[in-house]
Amino acid sequence: MANLLKTAVAGCSCPFLSSLGSCKVLPRKKDFLRTFHTHQALWCKAPVKPGIPYKQLTIGVPKEIFQNEKRVALSPAGVQALVKQGFNTVVESGAGEASKFSDDHYRAAGAQIQGVKEVLASDLVVKVRAPMLNPTLGVHEADLLKTSGTLISFIYPTQNPDLLNKLSKRKTTVLAMDQVPRVTIAQGYDALSSMANIAGAAALEQFKSLGAEPLEVALKESGEGQGGYAKEMSKEFIEAEMKLFAQQCKEVDILISTALIPGKKAPVLFSKEMIESMKEGSVVVDLAAEAGGNFETTKPGELYVHKGITHIGYTDLPSRMATQASTLYSNNITKLLKAISSDKDNFYFEVKDDFDFGTMGHVIRGTVVMKDGEVIFPAPTPKNIPQGAPVKQKTVAELEAEKAATVTPFRKTMTSASAYTAGLTGILGLGIAAPNLAFSQMVTTFGLAGIVGYHTVWGVTPALHSPLMSVTNAISGLTAVGGLVLMGGHLYPSTTSQGLAALAAFISSVNIAGGFLVTQRMLDMFKRPTDPPEYNYLYLLPAGTFVGGYLAALYSGYNIEQIVYLGSGLCCVGALAGLSTQGTARLGNALGMIGVAGGLAATLGGLKPCPELLAQMSGAMALGGTIGLTIAKRIQISDLPQLVAAFHSLVGLAAVLTCIAEYIVEYPHFATDAAANLTKTVAYLGTYIGGVTFSGSLVAYGKLQGILKSAPLLLPGRHVLNAGLLAASVGGIIPFMLDPSFTTGITCLGSVSALSAVMGVTLTAAIGGADMPVVITVLNSYSGWALCAEGFLLNNSLLTVVGALIGSSGAILSYIMCVAMNRSLANVILGGYGTTSTAGGKPMEISGTHTEINLDNAIDMIREANSIIITPGYGLCAAKAQYPIADLVKMLSEQGKKVRFGIHPVAGRMPGQLNVLLAEAGVPYDIVLEMDEINHDFPDTDLVLVIGANDTVNSAAQEDPNSIIAGMPVLEVWKSKQVIVMKRSLGVGYAAVDNPIFYKPNTAMLLGDAKKTCDALQAKIRESYQK
């Protein structure tokens, strides 16, 4: 009895219980039922689950025997996925050899290798070609199928009635891959489309990029039939179509045709007379040759010449790319099996004649053409069929063009005229408000320097934006000039202001030494083995001449500090201009060093400090410089963004200290100084800018270093809080200017220092990690304006010139970053989301399923591709995967493959970071291209490897006007022939937007850790090329 009870429990969820009544224990039936119902552990209320457990089912993968067929129905990756689901899998020996899948690959994936008869006798058989006579065995494959088994294959039921009769005798259930409905939910199972794309149909879309224009028949008629497939057109339409074709045949050189009608022979669209009217030497490509062909002169399976016209009528085009075709078809099969049987334990699907359009019921009923030997093809018409094709949504580019067209020429000119009017009015206002001639001259210097900086920075190549940021960081260390001017005492400072000045000179020196060394390290990474030798030490000659000549002139009694400031300023301009190209970048860094050295020398020469004070100045700067050099020497290049942020904080702090020190020094003279109000205003503004720069840079450093969370900190009412802080900061200048007391003045400066520091924290904390490129450039710009404030405060033309250069540099880089995201600067700085083109409606829904591949599949794709583009994102930086990728690129290049990189302007955490990381790994800079340089090459590219990127390759930016990233310039990777996306998961990027490219038919996902995946790819590629 105990054994019987155990049997009953084990079968309580399967049909076995239905036959329990026939057991020979009927006399004990009453006791059995009583015991079953009263024993709580044996009481089963669960309904009987239909279907058969996956572990009891075997899927068979036979070798294709159709002539020239090299594909296989399941790839090793597909086998692995089905085994993971619970299926048993058997593969015929040699089934995947033609597709470069060995038996060992299948064994490693979990399959057993058996003979053809054992494989065809499986519970579920998957094939590419419909069953046919096996010439070796002399038996039809259909006769070898298991009775009441299941077959999944291309069937073409209308053309193969005899095959259906054979399958019916075996009581087979048949799923025809050629009958999968063309509905959104079934995109992942649409084998007709995936095979047609391999055959070349998808290539036709690329002709549009070459200027091809679609032709329209004058007679309007919908060509869509049931299930989303093409229908047979009316007689009137065909006549109009033939007339158009006859005319075009006389004009074109190449004809490509793909027309098919489900269940029928391919329609003949081009008669013999049309073909013979073409110019001699023309080519016709018949992609419908396997179904009879669209050209009357086509010979299926052959390439031949008919009266000077070359005919390509191959019927095995997908097999000519067997690995890719098999991988795609395998994905279609595995996704279909998972979709039709959603139960996690049992394999079961229900065929219903009553179903809604576009549902899984529609997919199942349309695909199943035979159920237990009964032909149920064609499927009945679904309910709720859409009455018409949906209105095609306008692209972002079309909407932007329409928006631009609404701006009248008058409004456009009026806007421009108003801007110039405001600018010129402001200049007049500055002239009227100028307290003295010196201020007007300083404003003139500032304006001209800003214009020079604007035009100079625009010429810097994007690949050198990181060295540009670093060299401007070093030059901004000229805040040391302000500290030197205000230092006093002897060996030690004797007053508060002198102590603040000494501290400013010390921390500024950290910037100078560290910035130039980091710049030199980065530039050295861009050197290629083929570059000619460099003799940069020769730049010591102009440096020695400039500084030594000034000291000699000073010793001779000449006061030429202003001329030396001019020379230093021009050298700093040359530093930025030198970074415009790789060839002059090292000259630029040398000029920056000469400019800073000359400026510091002229400052000391003008001050003429006593030996004790000179020792104090030298000690402060030497200590700061030593610290800067130590940091710059030890820092990893991947940590460059946080180093730049940390150095920016030093500039901001130096500006605050200098402004407060200057106020303390100048306070006794305010009563008699005509420019007292100007000095106080500039000191107040300099303190505010420096405070925001200091604290904002520290927060940016914390986020980049991982000390703080990278996610934005969205405080409740943060906009009100920031507005209040700004109002308090601006309001503080009123008592500062009106009350002449020292206590009020120093209190206001201390208050604005604290308020600006808090504001820097609240502003920067609300910005996410992916927006750090803009934050870094804005902070770079702030440091320049802080330097300008020091220049006005101390009436120092060098600080004003250099500050204008750095301020305009950071502003332009910020603009470039914002354009690259199609966002406004205010949107980024205030922690906002969305682009300027976002329509604001509901984003489009992304349907379909993704395709996953394993390393072996990826290796095959890489080996078969001749043109490869790699598009890295921040994920590559985080994983430090640049080294295996660089080695992989080197190996592929040695095999004659064209390998390049495509870099998005905001990839990484600061401008140009990825360029530097790739250079560090030894990637030649001439194969690393910017987005604008490479986007037009994607349609001609065989394979794109997306490594750790998401938003920068998101097609929703172009396809969905309602997307939060609508209009953002992106790398158009989906236009290539094949894409492999390497990510940890299918998760969204920083913008929290789903990426449609993950679900496109030409995209394969290689999920996992980027570093481990890149290492494995490198190792396997090396192994494959060494064989």
Helical (H) or strand (E) element with 309: strand 309-312
Percent of residues in the chain assigned helix, strand, coil, to nearest 5: 60, 10, 35
Buried b (16+ CB within 10 A) or exposed e, 166-195: bbbebbbbbbbbbbbbbbebbbbbbbbbbb
Active site residue 990: yes
Tokens 């999920």 sit on residue = 1007
Active site residue 874: yes
Buried b (16+ CB within 10 A) or exposed e, 715-753: eeebeeebeebeebbeebbeebeeeeeeeebbebbebbb
Q: Considering only CA atoms, which of 723, 827, 701, 824 is closest in space to residue 772?
A: 701
**How far is the C-alpha of 377 from the C-alpha of 176, rounded, in Å?**
10
Cα distances (angstroms) measured from residue 669 to each of 662, 673, 679, 877, 1009: 11, 6, 11, 54, 65
Rounded (5°) CA angle 784-583-803: 10
Catalytic residue from among 823, 900, 909, 925 = 909
Catalytic residue from among 874, 900, 925, 999 = 874
For the record, the structure tokens of 650 come out as 């030093």
**How far is the C-alpha of 998 from the C-alpha of 853, rounded, in Å?**
12
Catalytic residue from among 314, 565, 701, 990 = 990
**How far is the C-alpha of 277 from the C-alpha of 838, rounded, in Å?**
51
Those residues whose C-beta lies under 8 Å from the C-beta of residue 164, and which sit 6 or more positions away, are 155, 157, 174, 369, 370, 375, 377
For the record, the structure tokens of 45 come out as 């209320």
Those residues whose C-beta lies under 8 Å from the C-beta of residue 422, and which sit 6 or more positions away, are none
User: Residues 852, 77: contact at Cβ < 8 Å?
Assistant: yes
**How far is the C-alpha of 402 from the C-alpha of 900, rounded, in Å?**
35
Those residues whose C-beta lies under 8 Å from the C-beta of residue 174, and which sit 6 or more positions away, are 150, 151, 152, 153, 155, 164, 167, 368, 369, 370
User: Residues 478, 509: contact at Cβ < 8 Å?
Assistant: no
Pure H helices in 556-675: 561-578, 585-607, 611-634, 640-666
Cα distances (angstroms) measured from residue 344 to each of 16, 324, 337, 838, 977: 20, 29, 12, 41, 35
Task: For 384-452, give the secondary structure using H, E and C.
Answer: CCCCCCCCCCCCHHHHHHHHHHCCCHHHHHHHHHHHHHHHHHHHHHHHHHCCCHHHHHHHHHHHHHHHH
User: Residues 329, 128: contact at Cβ < 8 Å?
Assistant: yes
Q: Strand 124-126 to strand 150-153: parallel, antiparallel, or no bridges (unpaired)?
A: parallel
Tokens 């994905």 sit on residue = 331
Those residues whose C-beta lies under 8 Å from the C-beta of residue 330, and which sit 6 or more positions away, are 72, 73, 74, 75, 77, 78
Active site residue 909: yes
DSSP, residue by residue, 222-261: --B-GGG-B-PPPHHHHHHHHHHHHHHHTT-SEEEE----
Contacts of 270-274 with C-beta under 8 Å, sequence gap 24+, read: 270/245, 270/294, 270/295, 270/296, 270/297, 271/242, 271/296, 272/296, 272/297, 273/246, 274/245, 274/246, 274/249
Cα distances (angstroms) measured from residue 800 to each of 368, 565, 944: 79, 10, 47
Phi (first) and psi of residue 780, to 5 degrees: -60, -40
Indicate the Cα dihedral angle 95, 97, 103, 104, nearest 10°: -160
Active-site residue set: 874, 909, 990
